[in-house]
Amino acid sequence: MKQKILSFATIVFLAVQFISCSSDDNTKIDKEPDDKEPIETVAINDTKLIAALKELGYEFEGNAIKVDQKVKETQTLNLSSKQISDLEGIKAFENLNEIKLADNKLDMAFDFNQLPETVTAIELQGNDLYEFYNLAERSIDKLYLPEKARFNMEDVLNFYKTNKDAVDNGTIDMKMTVKGELKTYTTLREIPDPILREYMQETFPSLFPNAGDLLDIATPMRIPENTAEFQLGREFNQSKTKDPNYDETRDPDSYDNTYLWMDETKEEFKTTKIENYEGIQYVLQHKDYGATWININNNHQAKNTTIEYLKIPDNGISWLWMRNFHIARGVKITNTSLKQLNFTFMSGFKTLDLSSSADLFVGGSLTMSGLNITNNPDLEEIIVPKSKLSDMQWGQVRLMYLPKLQKADFSHLNSFWGYSYFKGLPVWNVAFPKTLTEADYQINIGFDDVMLTTHKEKCIELMHKVEASTPKYWFLYCGIDPKTGKWNNTIFMDKDGNLL
């Protein structure tokens, strides 16, 4: 009998041990001795967020927050001024109604989908944010925005227009930082520079209510303002005789002397004296704007830093030329109509992504399709995808003085047109097609000494492809003309790089 009892006890003991050891190793649980329900955990990546939550008394297992009763019952979180840059894991607070994130390190873009669906109040002032994704999908009754939100003409503006009556009567508490102070959100914007403001008032009068000095970003553009060309400053260099830095042995494309236009006193040169370009964003991003040609030049010698983030939405702009701007926070182009992009003396951004402009080279000389990227010292990659259209893709390509360019893929091009130049590219990982489509028009390709020494084989290979595709071609050496001792961009050479 004792033996049977002992055996039974042994069986029970072993069964208990088996059950206790058979838990899934991947399941994050934490059980108190008297707690029958396992406590789930959610991983959090940001160490600053972990520290802030620990300060508020929340418990962690490593970098994972324990989703205990305290977390489940939390309705308000004050995480202001905690140096937080990543909110991954915040959805652990499934009953959260309000979250305060003022004065943190949230940068560039904020996605409202990263918050629990229960959140209806959020404070974001004091963060360096330009984009606010999926805002329209949320039901929000309190929204505090940072100062850079004034440039957002998509999610923020659409949220306001949808809820304008509720914002205006105070049902929705929507505020934005203006010169360091939270104020009720409006769509009125300042144009700080008086010369730029005057030009915009003359060119786009419908955007200025009651002929005032404030621009309303919510106002539709009238015809013909919606197609009015935006022309600021001067693109072309002054006569060499007026240039104190003129050097006959230097490539004119390698330096900028358009500041000389600022000495002109005639009215037609007035916009060369603009010092602050804040406000051009309100035209370039306007959903109704679709001018063929935008040409904006900063003629000051010092690069202007007021355009921290350049955004060109899908609004119909065809040609975009810009000169001498520092754009520290990047360039975002989602325009599908773009046919010509000219960026000269532009800095601050590493990637130029033209993924949305896949039809850039469709049309060739018929649409003046081209890409001119010159003197962009920080640029490392150019992304130009293949068009989905079956049409021929042929373009005028000029890549010049790009010391950090690592990658650019033009392997989908069928051909070139006009004058294409490649100069000053120490690293040339530029891909071109194996063969070019046969053509009966003139194709001109130019290289400088850097290209013909450092990348001679690639240059010769491209010239051979051109020669095989058309009977009409010029191959040009760009450098000191041995006959004159001066710089010349049109010194003829053969397909093997020998001067003629």
- Indicate the burial class of 23 (C-beta count within 10 angstroms; 0-12, 13-18, 19 or more): exposed
Mean pLDDT of the chain: 90
Which of the residue ranges 9-18, 189-198, 330-339 would you say has the lowest mean pLDDT? 9-18
When pLDDT is averaged across residues 289-294 and rounded to a whole number, the result is 92
pLDDT for 245 equals 79
When pLDDT is averaged across residues 74-78 and rounded to a whole number, the result is 98
pLDDT band at 241 (very low <50, low <70, confident <90, very high): confident
Whole-model pTM: value is: 0.88
Q: Who contacts 461 (Cβ-Cβ below 8 Å, separation ≥6)? A: none
Locate 190 and state its tokens: 């300042």
When pLDDT is averaged across residues 183-202 and rounded to a whole number, the result is 97
pLDDT for 99 equals 98
Please, how many CA atoms are within 13 Å of residue 246, restricted to the half-sphere of its CB? 12
Please tell me the distance from the alpha carbon of residue 183 to that of residue 189, in angstroms, as a whole number. Answer: 13
pLDDT for 416 equals 95
Locate 259 and state its tokens: 């500041």
* Nearest alpha carbon to residue 330 among 311, 302, 344: 311
pLDDT for 216 equals 98
User: pLDDT tens, 113-166?
Assistant: 999 999 999 999 999 999 999 999 899 999 999 999 999 999 999 999 999 999
Please tell me the distance from the alpha carbon of residue 315 to that of residue 201, in angstroms, as a whole number. Answer: 21
pLDDT greater than 60 at residue 403 = yes
pLDDT band at 213 (very low <50, low <70, confident <90, very high): very high
Highest mean pLDDT among 179-183, 234-238, 389-393: 179-183
Please tell me the distance from the alpha carbon of residue 194 to that of residue 217, in angstroms, as a whole number. Answer: 18
pLDDT greater than 50 at residue 383 = yes
Distances (CA, A) of 470 to 128, 132, 179, 494, 497: 52, 50, 60, 14, 18
pLDDT greater than 50 at residue 361 = yes
pLDDT for 310 equals 95
The single-letter DSSP state of residue 270 is G
pLDDT band at 35 (very low <50, low <70, confident <90, very high): low
pLDDT band at 364 (very low <50, low <70, confident <90, very high): confident
Query: Do the beta carbons of residue 323 and residue 259 sit within 8 Å?
Result: no
Query: Do the beta carbons of residue 274 and residue 211 sit within 8 Å?
Result: no
pLDDT band at 106 (very low <50, low <70, confident <90, very high): very high
pLDDT for 243 equals 84
Beta bridge pairs of residue 347: 326
More confident residue, 187 or 29: 187
In this structure, the number of other CB atoms found within 10 A of the CB of residue 34 comes to 5
pLDDT greater than 90 at residue 37 = no
pLDDT greater than 80 at residue 237 = no
When pLDDT is averaged across residues 216-233 and rounded to a whole number, the result is 95
pLDDT greater than 70 at residue 44 = yes
* Phi and psi, residue 186, nearest 5°: -135, 170
Please tell me the distance from the alpha carbon of residue 297 to that of residue 232, in angstroms, as a whole number. Answer: 6
- Indicate the burial class of 86 (C-beta count within 10 angstroms; 0-12, 13-18, 19 or more): middle
Task: Tell me whether the omega of the peptide bond preceding residue 224 falls within 30 degrees of 0, making it cis.
Answer: yes
Query: Do the beta carbons of residue 140 and residue 122 sit within 8 Å?
Result: yes
pLDDT for 36 equals 57
pLDDT greater than 80 at residue 33 = no
Which of the residue ranges 127-136, 286-295, 296-305 would you say has the lowest mean pLDDT? 296-305
pLDDT greater than 80 at residue 13 = no
Please, how many CA atoms are within 13 Å of residue 161, restricted to the half-sphere of its CB? 14
More confident residue, 305 or 440: 440
The single-letter DSSP state of residue 264 is -
pLDDT for 1 equals 44
